[in-house]
A and B are shown apart, each in its own frame.
Chain A
Amino acid sequence: MGLLDASISRHNVLVTSVDNVLNWARLSSLWPMGFGLACCAIEMMATNASNYDLERFGIFPRSSPRQSDLMIVAGTVTMKMAERVVKLYEQMPEPRYVLSMGSCSNCGGPYWEHGYHVLKGVDRIIPVDVYVPGCPPRPESLIGGLMKVQELIRMEQIGISRADALKKLAEKSVDPGMVIRRERKVAGA
């Protein structure tokens, strides 16, 4: 699937489209902003650490929004924090992606009814590309979400909007249940 998987011959010359090269470069060095808000941040840190090793995907956290491509909203967004999240998002250069990690930032989570101080979904203040469910999601889920962001980048083309890319991604979606069943069958479970 990757650009380098195609065999390179003829004096290291590879003919491909500009879209392909740009998308490949972006999705292979997806730098998230290093910030966490609650318990989801612990899972995010675990995913960054050696056991799950996000760096093998070229994903490693940056300390400045100006160097980041991706914002992982990992945790409960309070009303007080919401304005800071918007400020950080606005400081990120385009193209920028947002991954909402965990129930709290998806929809308010356990605070949906009585949490007067919690923003009921980070998509009320910034556009979200990928939602990862869970409370908190396991590192595997987060990696799944990050792969989804990479898929989204793969759908992009010069001249098409993010909304169109998301539409293309939705059309191309694979039922994970089918994949899981197939893998289980292969493993003999």
Chain B
Amino acid sequence: MEEGTVYSQHVAQSADAWAIIHEKFGDAVSAFDPNETMPFFEVLDLSQWQKIALFMRDHPKLKFNYMACLSGVDYPAEEKVGIVCNLESLGVLNHRIAVKLKCSRTGGSIPSVACVWHTANWHEREAYDMYGMTFTGHPDMRRILCPDDWEGFPLLKDYKVQESYHGVKVPY
């Protein structure tokens, strides 16, 4: 965060939250991005993600008690897939921030935070279902929407739908 920049109130709140996280975890987290729609930072050291998540949930000045969403993203140019977690402190401090994580596009994995926010349980399964990254430590790492024996991960940019499923033609 550069000195002297003026943020709108909610971005400033998020910046303060990031500063606390950055102070504790240092280089494990990236610089703060004051995006007006949803300020965010990235977790660079994935092995720290569970600790960061617990810290964010329990620290008295952070209290991110609510995971509003967990989405998957495909970054084909970087050969990576990732997730974006939208976190809020609902009814306590009323600030919010997004956390991004990226892993390898083939066989990559991200630590699960289903034990921190129960919302993450199904959302991580959905991200796995659509993008193919696995979540280590997840209590039930299966597909959630597609059938268990579906081929490929549908929301990847280079996804090609399979010709048939159980003998039934899939394309139009």
Interface residues of A (CB under 8 A from B): 79-80, 82-83, 107-108, 112-113, 116-117, 119-120, 124-125
Contacts and interface: CB of A to CB of B under 8 A. Distances in A.
B91 interface: no
A82 B168 CA distance: 9
Interface stretch (B7-15, B95-103, B158-166): B158-166
A76 to B, nearest CB: 13
A83 B154 contact: no
B162 to A, nearest CB: 8
Closest 3 CB pairs of A and B: A116-B161, A112-B172, A120-B172
B161 A125 contact: no
Interface residues of B, number: 14
Nearest to B161: A116
B172 A79 contact: no
Nearest to B146: A117
Contacts of B166: 79, 83
B4 interface: no
Give the interface SS of chain B, mostly helix, strand, loop or mixed. loop
Nearest to A80: B147
Given A80-B146, A117-B145, A117-B146, A124 B172 contact: no
B139 interface: no
B154 A117 contact: yes
A91 B154 CA distance: 33
B154 A116 contact: yes
B172 A113 contact: yes
Contacts of A116: 154, 159, 161, 170
Given A116-B154, A120-B171, A79 B159 contact: no
Contacts of A107: 172
Interface in B117-170: 145-147, 150, 154, 159, 161, 165-166, 168-170
A91 to B, nearest CB: 19
B168 to A, nearest CB: 6
Given A79-B168, A117-B154, A120-B169, 17 more contacts: A79-B147, A79-B165, A79-B166, A80-B146, A82-B168, A83-B166, A107-B172, A108-B172, A112-B172, A116-B154, A116-B159, A116-B161, A117-B145, A119-B168, A120-B170, A120-B171, A120-B172
Contacts of A117: 145-146, 154
A105 B83 CA distance: 34
Which among B147, B150, B154, B172 has the highest number of chain A CB atoms within 10 Å?
B172
